[in-house]
């Protein structure tokens, strides 16, 4: 019986990873090209959702997504693949891995801290108990929203730093040196406002999924 449950749990886990990998690939195709070479896409939204909802499995999602692009499957933005990863802006794609790891780590730490404080109701539920349970869920949803905002913001900064360093380093290697100011103006500044909006949306969606669809994540 235990073996069957373990097999079922493993199958559900693989299915969730596959689903979010497909979601990331689909979101990558929704893009707005910019002069700097890095398009505004929804794949960063998918990265935030995968890491915040699936926690450490979200890192596997990004590893699978980048591996598919590396071997030539056109899952990256504008149906790109290997060439995108080895371009000057490829660091922003590879940066999704540490970004997802940071989001997962902060979210998981918050989960463990919240679990220590949680006190489940015992015995038959009264009307007052139901009200307390609704209030607990409301506070839990707010906690997840705030934690996901913070985690996604920190993760995005990590991705910016990784991508900027890659951009400067690869251009220097090719003999076309770019300043930090140029890299930031071309590859970071145009994305700040869109990414802040994506952080807010990802945080809201994560708070809803993790409180209302909690059983599907087990």
**Where in the sequence is the domain holding 87, given as residue range(s)?**
2-217
**CA gap 56, 104 in Å, rounded:** 5
**CA gap 162, 91 in Å, rounded:** 6
Q: What are phi and psi of 40, to 5 degrees?
A: -80, 120
Q: What is the pLDDT of residues 130-167, one digit of tens each?
A: 788 788 888 999 999 999 999 999 999 999 999 999 99
**Number of domains comprising the chain:** 1
Q: What is the pLDDT of residues 36-79, one digit of tens each?
A: 556 688 999 999 999 999 999 999 999 999 999 999 999 998 88
Compute how many other C-beta atoms are within 10 angstroms of the C-beta atom of residue 23.
18
Lowest mean pLDDT of 99-103, 144-148, 189-193, name the range.
189-193
Q: What are phi and psi of 76, to 5 degrees?
A: -80, 175
Q: How confident is the model at residue 34 (pLDDT cuts 50, 70, 90)?
A: low
CATH of the domain at 206: 1.10.1760.20
Q: Identify the residue whose tokens are 């076309």.
A: 176
Distances (CA, A) of 83 to 23, 69, 77, 117, 170: 21, 9, 11, 48, 13
Q: Identify the residue whose tokens are 């730093």.
A: 161
The contacts of residue 26 (CB under 8 Å, 6+ apart) are 46
**CA gap 170, 161 in Å, rounded:** 14
**CA gap 54, 161 in Å, rounded:** 24
Is-contact 85 94, C-beta < 8 A? yes
Q: Which has the closest alpha carbon to 59: 155, 191, 197, 164?
A: 155
pTM of the shown model: 0.86
Please compute the mean of the pLDDT values over residues 195-212 and round it to a whole number.
94
Q: What is the pLDDT of residues 114-130, one digit of tens each?
A: 765 555 545 555 777 77
Task: Give the relative orientation of helices 2-28 and 43-54 as an angle to the nearest 10 degrees.
Answer: 160
The pLDDT of residue 98 is above 70: yes
The pLDDT of residue 207 is above 60: yes
Distances (CA, A) of 105 to 13, 156, 197: 18, 14, 22
Provide the pLDDT for residue 202: 96
More confident: 113 or 24 = 24
């Amino acid at each position: 019986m235990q073996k069957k449950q373990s097999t079922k749990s493993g199958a559900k886990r693989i299915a969730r990873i596959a689903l979010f990998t497909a979601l990331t690939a689909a979101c990558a195709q929704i893009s707005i090209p910019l002069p700097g070479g890095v398009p505004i896409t929804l794949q960063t939204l998918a990265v935030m959702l995968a890491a915040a909802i699936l926690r450490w499995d979200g890192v596997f999602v990004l590893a699978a997504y980048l591996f598919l692009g590396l071997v030539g499957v056109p899952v990256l933005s504008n149906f790109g693949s290997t060439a995108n990863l080895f371009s000057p802006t490829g660091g922003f794609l590879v940066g999704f891995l540490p970004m997802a790891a940071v989001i997962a780590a902060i979210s998981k730490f918050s989960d463990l801290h919240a679990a220590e404080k949680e006190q489940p109701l015992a015995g038959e539920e009264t009307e007052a108990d139901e009200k307390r349970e609704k209030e607990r869920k409301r506070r839990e949803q707010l906690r997840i929203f705030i934690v996901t905002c913070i985690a996604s913001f920190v993760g995005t900064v990590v991705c910016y730093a990784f991508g900027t360093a890659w951009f400067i380093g690869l251009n220097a290697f090719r003999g076309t040196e770019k300043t930090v100011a140029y890299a930031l103006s071309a590859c970071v500044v145009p994305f700040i406002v869109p990414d802040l909006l994506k952080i807010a949306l990802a945080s809201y969606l994560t708070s809803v999924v993790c409180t209302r669809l909690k059983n599907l994540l087990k």
